[in-house]
Amino acid sequence: MNNKAVHKDPPPQRESFTELLGQLAKNSAAVVRDEIELVIRRIREKVTAGRRGVLLVATGAVISAAAFMSLCAALIICLTAYMAPAMAALVIGVVLAVLGGVIAFIGFQHLKKSVLET
């Protein structure tokens, strides 16, 4: 006869329901933590990209403002051929003030309409 002992694996132990619930809670917490970290990382990336965009827009606005002032100075210089320099500057200033007021009023009306719609 065969004297060798046959080693059988012990029957698998079944985990209790409370242990399974504990593992589920631990795994769920890890998943939520990972999702929160992912959302935070995405927000940081968007803020960084937004910051770059705002910086570029601000730089462009400053350069455009300087160009606009140069054009206004050139227009005033051209008008001095027809009127006194102070009067030319006053005329250009009034025209720009009226134009800016009209644009601001139109923008305010659009803003008011969009706020009332939501």
Residue 7, CA distances (Å) to 1, 10, 11, 21 in order: 17, 9, 12, 33
Query: What's at 90, amino acid-wise?
Result: L
Residues of the chain with pLDDT under 70: 1-13, 118
User: Taking the complete model, does pTM exceed 0.85, yes or no?
Assistant: no
> Tens of pLDDT along 23-57?
888 899 899 999 999 999 999 988 888 888 889 99
Residue 118, both tokens: 């939501």
83: phi > 0 → left, psi -120 to 50 → alpha, else beta; which? beta
